[in-house]
Amino acid sequence: MRYCGWVVRKVQVGRVLILEVSTSSSVRLSVLVFKPERDRDFYATVRDVDVGTALCFEGFPAEEQKSKRGIEYVVEKLEIYAKPLEPLPVDTAGKTPVLLDTRLKYRWLLARKPEERAIVRIRSGIIKAAREYFEANGFTEIHTPKIVAAGAEGGATLFKVQYFENDAYLSQSPQLYKQMLIASFEKVYEITPYFRAEKFNTPRHLNESWGIDAEQGFISSVEDVMKTLEELVAYIVNYVSKNYREELEELGIQPLQLTTPFKRLKFTEVVDLLRSEGVDVRENEDLSDYAERKLGEIMSEKKHYLYFIVGFPWSSTAFYYMREEDGIYTRKFDLDFKGLEIASGGQREHRYEKLVEALKDKGLNPENYSFYLEAFKYGMPPHGGFGLGIERLLMKILNLENIREAVLFVRDRTRLIP
RNA sequence: GCCGCCGUAGUAUAGCCCGGUUUAGUAUGCGGGCCUGUCGAGCCCGUGACCCGGGUUCAAAUCCCGGCGGCGGCGCCA
């Protein structure tokens, strides 16, 4: 077996040389042990190898596994591919601390460390699990445009781009497009970037983030959509727990086993609950971050780590959510994970006239949405869907303190490089 | 948009409040030496830093102003 990777640590004790190599085949380090009498052929070469060297080796696991840091190999063949020109700017052996800022600058290099590598691999696992779930459940993967015309959704502010002679924007959500496709597909999903031009600087916001979006038609109620979302999230989390044990262990995370259904809370119940705890909540607005976190604490005490909040007031939602008969509440829901909103969705308004009315009610001009509205003229079934934030989900699964840790190359208020 | 805190070697930090006692300390890295497999190895020697500009002062890493950069809180947002 041939393994390739980078030397993250080199130790010499007496005449024994030890190289710890980070390979992409595992988050566990490979420990290469060289003794002068046994490894005459490579000994001189290895003595010359610096931390950071890219190499491949062939060998077999040693009988005596003395190392506590990885799997020991007896090397039979060694190929050196590249040596570092300078000492590495950050410690890939995990001994010297590194600040988040520096960590983000050198993420591509630090990913040689087991912990950083583990985060990247688990993120990859989330995507893999999501695809598996959707493909097994009759969803078709779609791709909608990321360069869009104005007025996609209201809400978050958009990044402007010059599109030849027209102004255009980076898509903040595939919302309108995935809905339009319910005119021809029963179930669709998309794994996509979201671009949001909000000037936030918080541990839970990014200006470029990724989402898992789904939309399904022919539903009988918003429950159908919530069921898809909870099954998806449970599938992802359980998949990661099962298939990424080493990675989770490396990060010191206890694998989580989720069962469905998740707890459902009505928005009005949440308001009452929080008020009884002395939290100031407005009944016609979305919950504040503080209120969300507080609710997370209350729910965690009852062992409900994931829970839905259903029935947000119309005054706090986007125009496309279906309103209840009372006109006050909607079929919009959020899915929170330990006090953080990781997904939101709901049943949409599929009736053309009602949708036009809703746009007007929100002070939007239906003419600007004619491309979207037209999709509701020719047999649009009742439908709903959701958007699930990948970084937020990853953050919560891994107990990351800052959402920036969940992305390799961060785009936030001030970071455009690397 | 409003507000707060921070900015010292490659990395991470002490010193800053109370200016001079600092050739700016420590750890780690890096270079060299020692050590019969270390595992945050150890021991010895060496290396290297006060974000930028202006001001106050006999004297500024330390105080003041501005800029740039980082982190966070509120708002907004997923």
The closest nt to A93, taking CA to C1', is B40
pLDDT for res A153: 58
CATH of the domain at A17: 2.40.50.140
Whether A412 maps to a domain, the answer reads no
The closest nt to A293, taking CA to C1', is B73
Mean pLDDT of A342-364: 92
Q: Are residues A125 and A199 in the same domain?
A: yes
Domain membership of residue A141 as a residue range: 114-406
Please give the protein residue whose CA is closest to the C1' of the nucleotide B31: A87
Q: Are residues A19 and A146 in the same domain?
A: no
**Predicted ipTM of the assembly:** 0.83
Whether A273 maps to a domain, the answer reads yes
SS (H, E, C) chain A: CEEEEEEEEEEEECCEEEEEEEECCCCCEEEEEECCCCCHHHHHHHHCCCCCCEEEEEEEECCCCCCCCEEEEEEEEEEEEECCCCCCCCCCCCCCCCCHHHHHHCHHHHCCCHHHHHHHHHHHHHHHHHHHHHHHCCCEECCCCCEECCCCCCCCCCCEEEECCEEEEECCCCHHHHHHHHHCCCEEEEEEEEECCCCCCCCCCCCEEEEEEEEEECCCCHHHHHHHHHHHHHHHHHHHHHHCHHHHHHCCCCCCCCCCCCEEEEHHHHHHHHHHCCCCCCCCCCCCHHHHHHHHHHHHHCCCCEEEEECCEHHHCCCCECECCCCCEECEEEEEECCEEEEEEEEECCCHHHHHHHHHHCCCCHHHHHHHHHHHCCCCCCEEEEEEEHHHHHHHHCCCCCHHHHCCCCCCCCCCCC
Last residue of a domain, one of A72, A88, A104: A88
A288-312 tens-digit pLDDT: 888 888 899 899 888 899 999 999 9
Mean pLDDT of A39-50: 83
Give yes or no for CB of A416 within 7 Å of strand B: no
Question: Residues 111-170, chain A: which have Cβ under 7 A from strand B?
Answer: 153, 155-156
Question: Residues 224-283, chain A: which have Cβ under 7 A from strand B?
Answer: none
Whether A93 maps to a domain, the answer reads no
pLDDT for res A155: 53
Whether A67 maps to a domain, the answer reads yes
Share of chain A above pLDDT 70, in %: 98
A213-257 tens-digit pLDDT: 999 999 999 999 999 999 999 999 999 999 999 999 989 899 989
pLDDT for res A387: 94
Please give the protein residue whose CA is closest to the C1' of the nucleotide B36: A14
pLDDT for res A364: 84
Whether A99 maps to a domain, the answer reads no
Whether A154 maps to a domain, the answer reads yes
Mean pLDDT of A80-98: 89
Q: Are residues A29 and A143 in the same domain?
A: no
CA A15 / C1′ B35 distance in Å = 9
CB-proximal positions of chain B, under 7 Å: 1, 10-13, 27-31, 34-41, 69-78
pLDDT for res A62: 84
CATH of the domain at A186: 3.30.930.10
